[in-house]
Structure 1
Amino acid sequence: MWTQQREVGLARCVAAVHSARSAVVLTHEAAALVHVLWLRRGETDIRIAVPTNPKRARQPLVPVGFVDGILPHLSGAGRAVSLQRRRSRLRAEDVEVINGLPVTTLLRTAVDCAFDLPVRESITIVDSAVWTLCRPDRINPQQARARWNRLRPQLLAVEAEGSRRGAVRARAVVAMASPFSESPGERLTRRLIVALGLPSPDLQYEIMLDAGSQRFLDLAWPDLRLAIEFDGRSKYGVNDDIW
């Protein structure tokens, strides 16, 4: 079902670009879709930047129903999504073309989402953008840490956005961002840990087993001998006792 939702979202992105009379750029969640970043929800609004003030800032899109094992279909009961237009003067270096679609760059997409989306929505996008840019290897994480140290100041430079709304939220998201979370579930778990005021965990913490093999824990507090693993239910479908 997630795959179907992604395909419908990409189709909506293509339609938004080709049906517009003026030059447009896909931004926010739409750009994240094209960049193949992880979103918290499978189906999302489509946002585009236009060069002038739009007559209609928001246009409802036809709802689509998604059911396991059934192809997507028009449905009055589908999730309400919309096409959102906003005037924006993006710099040339903030835009690139992927598969014929003009989108904001990875870094610009991450910054826009950090400013304008709720933290529970933006953290998965920002983290996966950072993950893509840093290309972490948990066996040898030093290179990814060095890339992250160079990249993080660019994300933290939110002062360049002037008085844009959401600056406090954006700083909070960037402060908790990391290239070492490997799934949306891990990112949402870490957001909850931060929101509860708990100590920051080590990510992808390495432990060595007696046989000499390695294991990596999603989130760990070594001093407390405590770890958290986030997994989907299907991983434990064979043994109900584990679930």
Structure 2
Amino acid sequence: MPKAPRRPPQLRGRVFRGSTAVSRGLLSRNDLRSSAWRPLFRDIYADATLQVTHRVRCAAVGRLLIPPEAAVAGRSAAAVYGCPAPPATEPVDVLVPRAARIGPTAGLRIHHGEIEQGDTVDRAGVRVTSPARTCWDLALWLDVVEAVVVLDGMLARRLTDVSTLREYALDRAGRRGWRSLLRAVDLADAGAESPQESRIRVRLVLAGLPRPQTQWVVADHCRFVARLDLAWPELKVAVEYDGLWHDDPEQFHRDRRRLNRLLGDEWIVLHVTAKRLRDDFDGFLAEVRAALRARARSVRCR
């Protein structure tokens, strides 16, 4: 019968530096190779029973891997703040001052840049970029659609607000990235409730359509009828994203009944799935544009 691997109680449920555990006599180098421990980064290990998420990896990076003058940044910082996190296997974004020395490290995406006073904060022992600096970096590092996806999440969680972000950008006018942040802020909306809703909205606006309202509530004589992901209420046109949560059949049928009531109230409700968004956005865009044009003509003829 194989010998059970050593699992000292001091390390159970923990992320730790392997060399430290060895120097303290808690484990040997051979012990670290056992199934009890999972390597995360060079010399960084986790209890194999621990669910390793992107946030767990961010904490490991911030506490054990990067120099004190560096910080977890970008989408990884947003994940630390509670926004939807990238997959666990996604590299952790790190912002490092230009003068600091840190070589390429597997599992890290290293960005070099100036870090000003107030650009970092401590979150449970992890140094991360401030919400405003996080949004600045996102606007600089990502395309505008993906940047707005994360900005929507930051705004929805009230980690920052539009006026603060605009002021942050304008205070740095002339520096690389300030116009990108202003553009992303102008497209952001705290009402978005999922990354896909954000992507649909921004892509529609960038394609030249009027900006829709998010989470528009339809009522009939003060009685709630429905809440729509995206809507042009003056034209009674709406877009609904059919996401993975529709795997719940009961929720799916409740939503369909709700939307059928809207159809009876002369709303046009257009549905889009992740596959359609990925493979046939142009076709979907044409349908939305046609619905808006038809309703605009109808309004003019009244």
TM-score of the pair, normalised by structure 2: 0.58
Check 1:211–1:95 CA distance in 2 against 1; reply closer, same or farther (3 A cut): closer
- How many percent of aligned residue pairs carry the same amino acid? 24
RMSD of Structure 2 on Structure 1 (CA): 2.9
What SS does the corresponding residue of 2:183 show, helix, strand or coil? helix
Aligned length in residues:
201
8 Å CA contact 2:73–2:128 kept in 1: the answer is: yes
Runs (4+) of structure 1 exceeding 6 A deviation are 239-243
Map 1:133-152; keep pairs closer than 5 Å.
133=158, 151-152=161-162
CA distance in 2, matches of 1:234, 1:132: 21
Shift of 1:170: 2.1
Deviation at 1:228, TM superposition (A): 0.6
CA distance in 1, matches of 2:212, 2:65: 46
Which has the higher Rg, Structure 1 or Structure 2?
Answer: 2
1:95 is aligned to 120
Structure-to-structure mapping, 1:210-229, within 5 angstroms:
212-229=223-240
Shift in Å, 1:164: 2.9
Letter in 1 for 2:94: I
C-alpha distance after superposition, 1:43-102 (max 9, x if no partner)? 5332223344345564332xxxxxxxxxxxxxxxxxxxx4314242231x3322112111
| Partner Cα distance (2:225, 2:52) in 1 | 37
Q: Name the structure 2 match of 1:189.
A: 200
- TM-score scaled by length of structure 1: 0.70
- Aligned counterparts, 1:121-132, within 5 A: 121-132=146-157
On the 8 A contact 1:25/1:104 being kept in 2, the answer is yes
Equivalent in the alignment of 2:163: 153
Name the structure 1 match of 2:214. 203
In the alignment, which residue of structure 2 is the partner of 1:68? none
CA–CA distance in 1 between the matches of 2:207 and 2:100?
41
Deviation at 1:187, TM superposition (A): 0.5
Alignment of 1:86 with 2:131, yes or no, is no
Ranges in structure 2 where 5+ consecutive residues have no aligned partner? 1-50, 257-272, 274-302
Alpha-carbon distance change, 163 to 121 in structure 1, aligned in 2, over 3 angstroms: same
1:147-178 C-alpha deviation (Å, 9 max, x unpaired): x9xx3232123232243333333222111111
C-alpha distance in 1 between matches for 2:103 and 2:205: 34
Mapped contact 2:135–2:181 kept (Cα < 8 A): no
Query: What is the distance in 2 between the residues matched to 1:174 and 1:60?
Result: 32
Q: Say yes or no: does 1:11 pair with 2:56.
A: yes
Paired amino acid for 1:84:
I
- 1:132/1:159 CA distance change after superposition, 3 Å: same
In structure 1, list runs of 5 or more residues that go unmatched.
1-5, 62-81, 135-147
